[in-house]
Each structure stands twice: as C-alpha cells, then as structure tokens.
Amino acid sequence: MKYTSIWEFNVRPEYVPEFIRQYGHRGAWAQLFSRATGYLGTQLLRDRQAGNRFVTLDHWASEALYREFRQRFQDEYAALDRQCGDLTLSERQLGEYSEATDGPEV
C-alpha cells in the first residue's frame, strides 16, 4: 500500500531559494531518497499566504520500503538534515499516510 510522509517547514526568509533547491523534486533530499527502492517522488508545496511556509510530501511504494530506506541510509539522512538545518526556523512531521482504498482496511 502506498505511503506518504508529510512535513511542514517554516523557512528563514533569506534562505527560501536555497530551501526550494534542496527540498524540491530534484533537490538533495529527493536525490538521497532515489537511491532507495520504492521511492516514488517528492512534492514541495508553498503556502500562498505565508511565502516562507512549505509542506513536503514524500511518496513511497510502501511503509516497509520507507522504513528500510531510513535504516539503510540513516547516516546520510542525518548528515543532510544537519546540512539543511540552518535553512529553517522550524520543522515538524504532520503525519504518515497510506493510500485510501474502497476495500477493507489492511
């Protein structure tokens, strides 16, 4: 079942262009994710009212493949997180979602 991790970021205004480069669908995060099996892509959404507020949607073929990625690439993930840390004022995970289906819940 498809899995999506959603994060919210409040970006330092002076770093908005760099944040977009790092977190966009071709950025450093997407490049890291694409090294793993099951990564389906990233969407970067910008708040229309607050131009320094963003949401990322990272799509995976399954939660198990996402968890496998996090374990296998934990050092690279942590290093990139540190590298990008100065770009934001705050970040938080909004949730983890699976694709809704018409069938019974799994």
CATH label of the domain that carries residue 42: 3.30.70.100
Domain annotation covers residue 93: yes
Assess if residue 102 is contained within a domain.
no
Q: Which residues pair with 10 in a beta bridge?
A: 53, 90
Instruction: Please report whether residue 105 resides in a domain.
Output: no
Structural domain contains residue 29: yes
Give the orientation angle of helix 63-72 with respect to helix 74-84, to 10 degrees: 80
Our count of domains for the chain comes to 1
Instruction: Write the pLDDT tens digit of every residue in 34-64.
Output: 999 999 999 999 999 999 999 999 999 999 9
Separation between Cα atoms, residue 47 and residue 88, nearest integer Å: 15
Q: Is residue 32 part of a domain?
A: yes
Decide: 55 and 61 in contact? Cβ < 8 Å: no
| Segments of the chain with pLDDT less than 70 | 102-106
Query: Which pLDDT belongs to residue 19?
Result: 98
Instruction: Say what the pLDDT of residue 99 is.
Output: 84
Q: What is the pLDDT of residue 13?
A: 97
Residue 14's domain spans which residues? Answer: 3-97
Task: Give the residue from 97, 86, 15 showing the smallest Cα distance to 56.
Answer: 97
103 within a domain of the structure (yes/no)? no
75 located within any domain: yes
Q: What is the pLDDT, as a whole number, of residue 101? A: 76
Whether 104 is in a domain gets the answer no
